[in-house]
C-alpha cells in the first residue's frame, strides 16, 4: 500500500504543478501587474492545480505519518522526478537528453537501494 500511496502522491504533485505551468503559459503578455496576477489567480488551470496539490499534500502527510519517513520521502520525491521528466516530454514537448535519462536511471537505482534495506 505504501508504494501505491507514494506513486499516487507523486502523480498528483506533478499533475498540480503541470497545471500551474499551463496556467502561467496562458498568462497575458501585456497589462499591469495587477491584471496579470488576477488572470493567474482566476485561471482554471491554476485553480485546478491548487486543488490537486492540496489533495496531494494531505495524502503526502498521511503517507509519511503512517509509514517510515525516509522510505516514503525517497519514493515520493524520486517518483515525482521520474513522472515530471515524462510529463515534460509528453505534455510540454521538452527534449529529454541522454544525460537526463541517465539521471533518472541513477535516481531509480538509488530508490531501489533505499527500499532494499
Count of the separate structural domains present in the chain: 1
pLDDT, tens digit (0-9, with 9 covering 90-100), for 10-33: 999 999 999 999 998 888 777 788
Alpha carbons within 13 angstroms on the beta-carbon side of residue 68 total 8
Of the candidates 79, 71, 69, which has an alpha carbon nearest to the alpha carbon of residue 15?
Answer: 79
Q: Hey, what's the cell of 109?
A: 537505482
Q: Tell me the pTM.
A: 0.84
Kindly compute the dihedral angle of the four CA atoms of residues 59, 5, 91, 77, in this order, to the nearest 10 degrees: 80
Task: Tell whether the model's pLDDT for residue 117 goes beyond 70.
Answer: no
pLDDT, tens digit (0-9, with 9 covering 90-100), for 56-108: 999 999 999 999 998 899 889 989 999 999 999 999 999 999 999 999 899 88
Q: Are 114 and 70 in contact (CB under 8 A)?
A: yes
Range of the domain at 11: 2-116
Amino acid at each position: 500500500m505504501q508504494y501505491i500511496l507514494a506513486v499516487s502522491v507523486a502523480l498528483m504533485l506533478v499533475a498540480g504543478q503541470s497545471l500551474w505551468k499551463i496556467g502561467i503559459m496562458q498568462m497575458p503578455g501585456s497589462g499591469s501587474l495587477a491584471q496579470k496576477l488576477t488572470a493567474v489567480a482566476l485561471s482554471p488551470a491554476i485553480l485546478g492545480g491548487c486543488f490537486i496539490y492540496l489533495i496531494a499534500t494531505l495524502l503526502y502527510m498521511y503517507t509519511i505519518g503512517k509509514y517510515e519517513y525516509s522510505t516514503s520521502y525517497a519514493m515520493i520525491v524520486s517518483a515525482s522526478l521520474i513522472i515530471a521528466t515524462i510529463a515534460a516530454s509528453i505534455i510540454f514537448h521538452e527534449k529529454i537528453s541522454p544525460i537526463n535519462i541517465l539521471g533518472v536511471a541513477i535516481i531509480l537505482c538509488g530508490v531501489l537501494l533505499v527500499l532494499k534495506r
